[in-house]
Amino acid sequence: MAHVSDLIATDIESYLAAHEQKELLRFITCGSVDDGKSTLIGRMLYESHMLFDDHLAALEADSKKVGTQDGEIDFALLVDGLAAEREQGITIDVAYRFFSTEKRKYIVADTPGHEEYTRNMATGASTADVAIILVDASQGVLTQTRRHSFIVSMVGVKRIILAVNKLDLVDYSEDVFNKIVSDYHNFADEALQLDEITAIPISALKGDNIVGPSENTPWYNGQSIIEYLESVEVSSSAQSRPFRMPVQWVNRPSREFRGFTGLIGSGIVSPGDRIRVLPSGTESVVERIVTWEGDLEMAGAGRSITLTLSDEIDISRGDIITAADNPCSSADQFQSRILWMDESAMMPGRQYLFKSSTQTTSMTLGQLKHRIDVNTLEELPAKVLDMNEIGVCNISLSSRIAFDPYDEDPTMGGFIIVDRITNNTVGMGLIDFELRRADNIHWQSMDVTKKSRAEQKSQKPRLVWFTGLSGSGKSSIANILEKKLQAMGRHTISLDGDNVRHGLNRDLGFTKADRVENIRRIGETSKLMVEAGLICITSFISPFESERLMVRNLVDSDEFVEVFVDTPLEVCEQRDVKGLYAKARAGELPNFTGISSPYESPNNPEIRIDTTQISAEQAADQIIDYLSKA
């Protein structure tokens, strides 16, 4: 059997060039496992002969190899190949199929139905004009049906084909069809923001109502799947929205040419148009629209171009070129809807990377406002989001970004969330609106600075961050260190884990989410102490690398000193001064670091201390020696 990619995955550029004059429709197939997605796509290709001639020839050759008569295309072979190719690409992203009819060209996002790959489905839906939601007639509307429907609605798909599949298994029952349609409308009409739901009874395996009407459903007088796709109006809203182009590359091959390359996200642009660059707010006028084929008099959404401007202004990758008379906004705090995609739960208070179009910055997730139950659409209280859960929360960015609300412009309102440690994409989000305080709160410059406070104390401000297991000796060493520094005339402050939980953090428990928030608050407090010119000494288990990195980034790079008290777990248990390990082993202390909750050891701490080899006094001297030289 030839590899399916040789049959289906054509060169995109040559495909689009060959069908340049046809309208393009993007759609997605989704639904629960075994609802028939691959069979439906295979049937559409098979029945309507939408494959190119060379693909047909390849399939015919394959059919001869497996013994089909007269070299006919083998439907089962095609479907098996489509399913195999998609399954091979599950861990990468989405399998995209490109095909054409006499009227239109199509791109279909073929996504897996497994719950753990909901993120793939969300990726495919983000650019779709239509979603085909498949429902197995013998199973009815399932949780995954509701989840996929909610997500396609959330990312802006307004037209749904409710394809009630496998009707042949229920004797083409009109009652079964009507019951499923009624159940789906009861769910969708209540809260999903859809313009249109078109229910079609089908059997992808038998070909009923895929290309034309079926004799097996005389009670149905509507369109087939292909008839609907051929006639549905293709959205042109991207062209009608204000001009937006994220800058991907500053092109300067010579002194005479300086252009700004990017993909137009929305709107149109022409030479002579006045533009504004965000977030700087600088304005200029478009001089040329440059492409490989030559200069253009106009370019619209979806076109990759290079703009030259009449003025020499500062523009970098990540900036957004917008229409001067209708620019987007800029802010650094938002309410957003988030779909979490990672096996590790979303942690409010933890820092991640925020990526939108070409813009990248640090992001801190605020407390969840609520989680959305995809079955009932109820807004439920929650502290974290687990994989495939959807919630609403505020986010705070370290720098302002250019944006439009997602419902107004998906290009400028969508973003992904990236783990700072693993660099994995862990979530996707949609901006609802900027928070009013983002514009009302401004940094107040003060005449007395960190530098002048430090000079007054004749010392360099530092944040000495002790980390290690409970019982490792952090607090003992920190106590001795502070006494020695005070004896040297240094100005210090100590923040200890247990002490802080008596006041500032007394409302926090020991769940993973509360531990993240505990360290976030301590980090911000420690930053204020460093701003005061002090040597701030902290003693916290701080088990997660991401939180320690977050605190490190709050102060200048030479101000943070991570001290890893690297005492083995068995030694800590032997000491067990507070009796905590014994309680944890007995199951009386859940989420105890080292026993029922992980500790992520630092990879490159400034100082590593082995308390099995040196005393607490010697450890303090080692730290003072480092501070004196650094």
Structure tokens, 550: 């977050």
Structure tokens, 558: 């030479």
Residue 516 has pLDDT above 70, yes or no: yes
* Distance between CA atoms of residues 439 and 334, nearest Å: 11
* Residue with the two structure tokens 């807004």: 379
Least confident of 172-181, 529-538, 571-580: 571-580
CATH number of 329-436: 2.40.30.10
Peptide bond into 461 cis (omega under 30): no
pLDDT at residue number 61? 44
Residue 542 falls in the annotated catalytic set:
yes
Pairing of strands 607-609, 268-269: unpaired
- Kindly report, residue by residue over 188-223, the tens digit of the pLDDT: 887 687 889 999 999 988 989 998 899 999 999 999
Q: Which residues of 177-190 are buried (b: 16+ CB within 10 A; e: fewer)?
A: beebbeebeebbee
Question: What pTM was computed for the model?
Answer: 0.66
- Kindly report, residue by residue over 96-117, the tens digit of the pLDDT: 677 777 778 888 887 765 565 6
Q: Taking the alpha carbons of 591, 595, 600, 602 in that order, is the dihedral positive or negative?
A: positive
* Distance between CA atoms of residues 30 and 144, nearest Å: 9
CB-based contacts of 358: which residues, under 8 Å, 6+ apart? 246, 247, 248, 262, 317, 318, 319, 320
Strand partners, 105: 24, 100
pLDDT at residue number 442? 55
Backbone angles phi, psi at 355, to 5 degrees: -130, 120
* Distance between CA atoms of residues 426 and 344, nearest Å: 9
Residue 64 has pLDDT above 50, yes or no: no
CB-based contacts of 31: which residues, under 8 Å, 6+ apart? 37, 113, 133, 134, 135, 136, 144, 145, 148
Per CATH, domain 241-323 is 2.40.30.10: yes
Catalytic residue among 542, 596, 597, 615: 542
Strand partners, 417: 354, 427
Where do runs of H (alpha helix) occur along 89-213?
A: 118-125, 143-154, 174-191
Strand partners, 223: none
* Distance between CA atoms of residues 559 and 541, nearest Å: 20
* Residue with the two structure tokens 């040789």: 6
Backbone angles phi, psi at 38, to 5 degrees: -65, -40
Count of Cβ atoms closer than 10 Å to residue 622 Cβ: 17
Strand order in the sheet with 95-100: 95-100, 104-110, 23-31, 130-136, 159-165, 196-201
Alpha-carbon 356 to chain mean position: 9
Least confident of 52-56, 225-229, 395-399, 488-492: 52-56
CB-based contacts of 231: which residues, under 8 Å, 6+ apart? 223
Q: Which CATH superfamily is domain 455-629 in?
A: P-loop containing nucleotide triphosphate hydrolases (3.40.50.300)
Domains 329-436 and 455-629 share a fold: no
Q: Greater confidence, 2 or 303?
A: 303
Backbone angles phi, psi at 607, to 5 degrees: -135, 135
- Kindly report, residue by residue over 261-316, the tens digit of the pLDDT: 998 988 999 999 999 999 888 999 999 999 988 999 999 888 889 999 998 888 99
Any idea where the domains of the chain sit in the sequence?
Answer: 4-233, 241-323, 329-436, 455-629
Cβ atoms of residues 388 and 115 within 8 Å: yes
- Kindly report, residue by residue over 575-591, the tens digit of the pLDDT: 887 788 888 888 888 87
Q: How would CATH label the architecture of 4-233?
A: 3-Layer(aba) Sandwich (3.40)
Cβ atoms of residues 212 and 223 within 8 Å: no
Residue 53 has pLDDT above 60, yes or no: no
CB-based contacts of 1: which residues, under 8 Å, 6+ apart? 62, 65, 66, 77, 81
CB-based contacts of 169: which residues, under 8 Å, 6+ apart? 137, 138
Where do runs of H (alpha helix) occur along 403-543?
A: 410-413, 437-440, 450-457, 474-487, 497-500, 512-531
Please name the amino acid found at residue 210.
I
Structure tokens, 482: 């502070």
Average pLDDT value for residue range 125-138 = 89
